[in-house]
Amino acid sequence: MKTLSTLFKNNIREYGMLIALIAIMLFFQFQTGGILFKPVNITNLVLQNSYVITMALGMLLIIVSGWIDLSVGSVVAVVGSLAGVLIVRYNVDWVVTVVICLLVGAAIGAFQGYWIAYLKIPAFIVTLAGMLVFRGLTFVLLQGESVGPFPVGFQKISSGFIPDIFNYPGFHMTTMVIGVLLSAVLIVLDMRARKNQQKYGFEVTPVYFSVIKNVAITAAVLGLCYLMASYKGIPDVLVLLFVLITGYAFITSTTTIGRRIYAMGGNEKAARLSGVNTPRLLFYTFVNMGVLAALAGLIVAARLNSATPNAGDGMELDVIAACFIGGASASGGIGTVIGAVVGAFMIGVLNNGMSIVGLGIDWQKVVKGVVLLVAVLFDVYNKNKNV
């Protein structure tokens, strides 16, 4: 059996990240005089970061593949403006518009992916071009002005909450029930995984560690649900995020597709000579990114309730930073979905906390840059120590 300290050493990246996130949250909770953990602010935190997290999922796959996508901020803008033009100017039904926009996102991804995967142009160049092209097209579509407002149904994409079936006054009971159910499911899954590991004779963590872990997770889930239940309940966007995060975590960690992406990023030639169709895999990685960027574009447009030419400006940097803070390697082959999500939250909490404290946008950028550097330094230091 492993001792706690070796366990910690082997997973120092994951635990270090979480501890840093919690420390930052506590710091701002203190600095803001308790505003950070107010129910309304926690809900806001989720809503504000939903698009960064959505795109971080796609970006992680691209970074693990060994490439980068600089165009996502512009894709957010062009898809948002397309939605605005279709819905507001041409009165297209918003559901139809959402479907069209996601397809357009896929097409954008396919276009860029084709240049990168089959014509072998470096992604940095292709997506830098894409960044300019799609930002330009946004201005063309919107003719330089904002388009809005959107119908209520569309707005609900980012501002809707799950319905409460209990109608308990002042408290969103459904949210709490979901929290309890989710905690129970997580505990059962963890116990089953443990049993499985024991059955096959693999090393398992000590029982007390497992108990501590489950108590901590349950407390976090219930605490979060309680806070959100005290406001308006679980936002629709959070449900969407939950589905996406679990889905992508599953794909990357336990499917053949995920395994092949990591192999491709680790050594493209070796993967190809092992029968992995690397051009096709890379192509679809970019298609996937296009769809997720389009989804993020819709969420942004719905949240602003208008399509503006500058939507998503600079967002690619937050998304990329989230992946690197979360432990992804710039040379490919390394990185996890959970890491990227924690990285995105880190950036989100920093943005949110610093705004509440009243730190100017100028210094906010400085702080974010330093955090990115320190996180990567931490990685490099750890890597050298382990060799």
Partner 1 sequence: MSDVILEMRNITKIFPGVKALDNVSFSVRQGEIHALVGENGAGKSTLMKVLSGVYPHGSYSGEIYFQGKECKFQDIHHSEEVGLVIIHQELALIPFLSIAENMFLGNERAKNGVIDWNESFSKTKELLDRVGLHELPSTLITNMGVGKQQLVEIAKALAKKVKLLILDEPTASLNDNDSEKLLDLLLQFKAHGISSILISHKLSEVNKVADSITILRDGTTIETLDCQKDKITEDRIIRGMVGRDLIHRFPPRDSKIGETIFEIRDWNVYHPLHEDRKVSNNINITVRKGEVVGISGLMGAGRTELAMSIFGRAYGTRISGTAYKNGREINISTIDKAISNGIAYATEDRKAYGLVLIREIKDNITLANLEAISDGGVVINEPKEMTVTSEYRDKLNIKCSSIRQLAVNLSGGNQQKVVLSKWLFADPEILILDEPTRGIDVGAKYEIYTIINRLASEGKGIIFISSELPEILGICDRIYVMRDGKIVGEMPASQASQEIIMKHIMTEQEVMA
The contact set with partner 1 (CB under 8 A) reads: 196, 199-200, 202, 254-257, 259-260, 262-263, 266-267, 269-277, 333-334
Residue 264 tokens, joined: 């491709």
Strand partners, 307: 147
Residue 346 tokens, joined: 């880190």
Which residue, 202 or 208, has its beta carbon nearer to partner 1?
Answer: 202
Which residue, 281 or 298, has its beta carbon nearer to partner 1?
Answer: 281
Which residue, 143 or 254, has its beta carbon nearer to partner 1?
Answer: 254
Q: What is the DSSP letter of 151?
A: P
Which residue, 68 or 251, has its beta carbon nearer to partner 1?
Answer: 251
Peptide bond into 235 cis (omega under 30): no
Q: Closest approach of Cβ 200 to partner 1, in Å?
A: 4
Q: Closest approach of Cβ 198 to partner 1, in Å?
A: 11
Q: Closest approach of Cβ 9 to partner 1, in Å?
A: 15
Q: Closest approach of Cβ 29 to partner 1, in Å?
A: 38
* CA 200 to each of CA 2, 80, 193, 212, 250: distance values in angstroms, whole numbers, following the listed order: 17, 50, 11, 24, 21
Q: Using CA atoms, how far apart are residues 370 and 272, in angstroms rounded to an integer?
A: 38
Q: Closest approach of Cβ 295 to partner 1, in Å?
A: 23
The one-letter code for the residue type at 35 is I
Q: Closest approach of Cβ 255 to partner 1, in Å?
A: 5
Look at the alpha carbons of 41, 47, 48, 50 in this order and tell me if their dihedral is positive or negative: positive
Nearest Cα to Cα of residue 295 among 321, 319, 325: 319
**Burial of 107 by CB count in 10 Å (0-12 exposed, 13-18 middle, 19+ buried)?**
middle
Which residue, 30 or 118, has its beta carbon nearer to partner 1?
Answer: 118
Q: Closest approach of Cβ 278 to partner 1, in Å?
A: 10
CB-based contacts of 88, cutoff 8 Å, min separation 6: 147, 148, 149, 150, 307
Which residue, 216 or 257, has its beta carbon nearer to partner 1?
Answer: 257
Which residue, 194 or 259, has its beta carbon nearer to partner 1?
Answer: 259
Nearest Cα to Cα of residue 377 among 335, 325, 320: 325
Q: Using CA atoms, how far apart are residues 234 and 226, in angstroms rounded to an integer?
A: 10
